[in-house]
């Protein structure tokens, strides 16, 4: 697992260091990112053609209470957090339109708890999903300080889940893992960005 993580980091950082001499911090952008049903904040920094990007998205949580027909009550709680780090390389097509490509290291964490009062039973599941996404997108300059970008990001994710089942004091633990790859709904992004500073 560590080797895979190191490889993903290398795939993101090597293109940046290969052009390190050419990159002077000239552009800083912050924007609102819409990704499938979630939204987040994206920060970009670099020069006109090579930028680091940091995306905090899918901060989520739910809390439900259910009363079943048998007068049994159940509660469901979930929390999630998504985080991406990578780079993008831009190429000008016209004065206001750019195409860009790059890659992101992806990471998300989810926790889910289901609790039933009769019979007493609690399920707790923790899931961590690291991965790598390949980026292809377009940027349109609305003005000198505002741009809008649209991108697709096919990705590969490795998910690790650990579940604890407490059934009236009898505790059972099990784990699962799996690979998810392709273009999912959260791999289509729209971002409205604003330039910071001069």
* 195 CA to centre of own chain: 22
- Fold annotation for 2-195: Porin (2.40.160)
Cβ 194 vs Cβ 31: under 8 Å: yes
Chain segment 144-161, per-residue pLDDT in tens? 899 999 999 999 999 999
pLDDT digits 0-9 by tens, 68-125: 676 677 888 888 888 899 999 999 999 899 999 999 999 999 999 988 877 788 889 9
pLDDT for res 61: 72
Query: Domain limits of the chain?
Result: 2-195
Check if the beta carbon of residue 33 is closer than 8 Å to that of residue 42.
yes
- Give me the mean pLDDT over the 58-65 stretch: 73
Q: List C-alpha distances in Å: 156 to 113, 114, 135, 178, 183.
A: 26, 29, 12, 11, 9
Distances in Å between the Cα of 39 and the Cα atoms of 15, 35, 58, 112 are: 27, 6, 6, 20
Higher pLDDT, 67 or 41: 41
């Amino acid at each position: 697992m560590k080797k895979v993580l190191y490889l993903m980091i290398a795939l993101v950082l090597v293109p940046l260091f290969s052009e390190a001499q050419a990159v002077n911090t000239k552009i800083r952008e912050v924007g609102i990112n819409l990704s499938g049903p979630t939204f987040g904040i994206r920060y970009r920094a670099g020069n006109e053609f090579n930028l680091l990007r940091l995306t905090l998205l899918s901060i989520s949580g739910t809390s439900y209470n259910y009363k079943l027909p048998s007068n049994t009550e159940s509660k469901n709680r979930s929390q999630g957090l998504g985080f991406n780090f990578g780079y993008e390389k831009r190429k000008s097509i016209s004065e206001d339109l750019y195409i860009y490509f790059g890659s992101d290291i992806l990471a998300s964490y989810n926790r889910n708890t289901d609790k039933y009062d009769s019979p007493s039973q609690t399920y707790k599941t923790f899931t961590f999903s690291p991965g790598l996404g390949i980026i292809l997108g377009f940027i349109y300059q609305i003005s000198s300080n505002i741009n809008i970008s649209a991108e697709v990001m096919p990705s590969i994710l490795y998910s690790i889940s650990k579940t604890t089942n407490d059934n009236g004091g009898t505790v059972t633990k099990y784990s699962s893992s799996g690979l998810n790859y392709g273009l999912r709904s959260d791999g289509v992004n729209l971002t409205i960005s604003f330039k910071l500073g001069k």
